[in-house]
Structures are given as structure tokens and as C-alpha cells.
């Protein structure tokens, strides 16, 4: 098994091959390719990837041109986990037959549309069956590739093309789904949340997830300046604010035990994460103050619950 406790050093990482090559057509400033590069660089095993239809898929493999330097399978929106399950099952059969003798790991990537919603059934099935795969959701909080429609990962109050803020509704009227908790309820060996702003934490979690014997799930915050209506150079800033406001707490669940990986010295107000994003601009009007209060209360409640489950006191 690979050493999952290795400290990642920039000098050493700079010498590693980049397995997602530059020159792809992801938007300038997109968080997704940053997430993918960090995760692929963390692996000490050869990898095979499946990729649900979405921003990452359509922009990194166009016709005969690809940015991927590992075996890569384009799947439909709904079946990245099912496809990879079949590949992993074939690999196990070939090893049993003596047709392969090297260790290979399998990793799926999907956005929140293809993970929280369309692909949830195949993802749940793969986790329940115990396939030795890692599923990574790059969560940008909407169906960005098809026109910024709301998904079940979209936060309360966000302005999208299918939850437009106006006189009738103040953006999305439902709270976002807690998919990390849903995956943990499958009682799989490893579940974690990560952020590209805290790259050592994310890469450590990726290495753990890849090395584990059995299914693992990583939910990673992935800022999208098109859908979030933010500056093109704000991806890491917003990812960091997501962590420091506890909108996106960094924690992991290993064999049922929850650990918090980062505790802000002083938890910032959720408004600091929201103000740079045009999708929340309308919420700062006086008539929408109750939505802001509801959002902050939800973040505080979830953070205190995490602290309690980890056996730590809230301040």
C-alpha cells in the first residue's frame, strides 16, 4: 500500500508529470482542472479514469484531442460510476486469471449535476456493491455546462437560470443536498470533503482514497466564475473563503470515525464568501435579509454538529 502520510513538498511535486495537460478548453480561472491536477498528482498508482458528461469532459477531450495522460473513458451524465465499476470488475477478474500482475486504481470524476442528481443512482450502487473505486465530485453548485441551471447542490438563495432571483422568488428556495453525508451513510471505508485552496489537505485525502481497499468518495469545492458571477482570478480565494466561513468544512470519515481537518481560528461570516459572487447579489437587499440569516444559521448548525460528532467543543 502507498504511504498515505507522506508530506507533499512543492520541490518534489514540481518534478512529477502533470497527468492533465494544459491546452484544454476549460474556462479561464475554472476550479475543476486545478482540483483534477492536484488529485492525479497525489496518486502513487497507475490510474484509469471515467468522466461523466459535463464541463470537464467536453472541454478536455475534443474529437481526437485529449488533455488526459492516463486511460480515460467518457461516459454519459448518469453512469460514470457504473462504467468504472465494470472496468474495475474486469480488472479483478484478469488479476485472478493471472492476465495482469500490476496494481491499478480506478477514479471517476463528475460535476454536481452528474453526481448529486443524474448519476446518484449508479454512484449509490457502486458504493453499496463495494467496488474498489474513488468517485470525485467537483462541486460548482449548478449545471454550469448546459446554462447555469440549479442542481440539488445549489445553495439556498442562489440566482440561476432556473431559479432566477426577482420579485417572485429570491433565487433558489431550497437548501442544498448534503451528499457527503449521504455517501457516508453507505458505510464505505473513506469519505471526505476537500478544497483546492488547501491543497496539501486535498492531496492527502486523495492519496488515502486511492490507496484504500474498497469504495471512497471525495466531494471537492470547485469555484466557477461563469456561474458564480465572480472574477476569473478568484477561484482559490473563494475556495479558501468557503472553508474559512465553514460553508465548506474540511473533514473526513474513515471507517465511520469523523475527523475535522481544519478549524478556522476565527470563523468568518458567510457574507464574506457570498459578496464576491454575483449570484448572491440580490440577497443583500433589505427585503432578503431573512434568507441571509437562514443561510448563516444553517452553516452554524452544521458546523456545530460536525464539532460534536468529532468530540470537539464549539466556541
Which residue shows C-alpha cell 420579485? 167
> What's the rounded mean pLDDT across residues 111-122?
98
| Average pLDDT of span 276-302 | 98
Mean pLDDT for 129-140 is 98
Contact 189, 254 (CB under 8 A): yes
Q: Is the pLDDT of residue 1 over 50?
A: no
Task: Report the distance separating Cα 210 and Cα 220, nearest Å.
Answer: 15
Q: What is the mean pLDDT of residues 137-165?
A: 98
The average confidence (pLDDT) of the chain is 96
Domains of the chain: 15-309 (3.40.50.970)
User: Over 60: is that where the pLDDT of 309 sits?
Assistant: yes
pLDDT, residue 314, reads: 65
Of the chain, the percentage scoring pLDDT greater than 70 comes to 97
Amino acid at each position: 500500500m502507498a504511504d498515505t502520510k507522506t508530506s507533499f513538498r512543492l520541490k518534489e511535486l514540481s518534478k512529477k508529470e502533470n497527468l492533465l495537460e494544459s491546452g484544454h478548453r476549460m474556462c479561464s480561472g475554472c476550479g475543476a482542472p486545478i482540483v483534477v491536477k492536484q488529485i492525479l498528482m497525489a496518486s502513487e498508482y497507475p490510474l484509469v479514469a471515467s468522466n461523466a458528461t459535463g464541463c470537464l469532459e467536453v472541454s478536455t477531450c475534443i474529437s481526437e484531442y485529449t488533455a488526459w495522460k492516463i486511460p480515460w473513458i467518457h461516459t454519459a451524465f448518469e453512469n460514470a460510476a457504473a462504467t468504472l465499476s465494470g472496468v474495475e470488475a474486469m480488472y479483478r477478474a484478469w488479476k485472478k486469471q493471472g492476465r495482469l500482475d500490476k496494481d491499478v486504481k480506478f477514479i471517476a470524476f463528475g460535476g454536481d449535476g452528474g453526481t448529486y442528481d443524474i448519476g446518484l443512482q449508479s454512484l449509490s450502487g457502486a458504493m453499496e456493491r463495494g467496488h474498489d473505486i474513488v468517485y470525485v465530485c467537483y462541486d460548482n453548485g449548478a449545471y454550469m455546462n448546459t446554462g447555469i441551471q440549479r442542481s440539488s447542490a445549489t445553495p439556498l438563495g442562489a440566482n440561476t437560470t432556473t431559479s432566477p432571483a426577482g420579485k417572485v422568488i429570491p433565487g433558489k428556495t431550497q437548501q442544498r443536498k448534503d451528499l457527503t453525508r449521504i455517501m457516508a451513510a453507505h458505510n464505505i471505508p473513506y469519505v471526505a470533503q476537500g478544497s483546492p485552496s488547501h491543497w496539501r489537505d486535498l492531496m492527502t485525502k486523495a492519496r488515502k482514497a486511492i490507496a484504500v481497499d474498497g469504495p471512497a468518495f471525495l466531494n471537492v469545492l470547485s469555484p466557477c466564475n461563469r456561474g458564480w458571477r465572480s472574477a476569473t482570478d478568484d477561484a482559490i480565494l473563494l475556495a479558501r473563503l468557503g472553508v474559512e466561513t465553514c460553508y465548506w468544512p474540511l473533514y473526513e470519515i474513515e471507517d465511520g470515525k469523523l475527523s475535522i481537518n481544519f478549524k478556522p481560528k476565527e470563523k468568518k461570516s458567510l457574507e464574506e464568501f457570498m459578496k464576491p459572487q454575483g449570484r448572491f447579489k440580490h440577497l443583500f437587499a433589505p427585503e432578503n435579509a431573512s434568507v441571509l440569516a437562514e443561510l448563516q444559521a444553517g452553516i452554524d448548525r452544521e458546523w456545530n454538529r460536525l464539532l460534536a460528532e468529532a468530540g470537539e467543543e464549539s466556541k
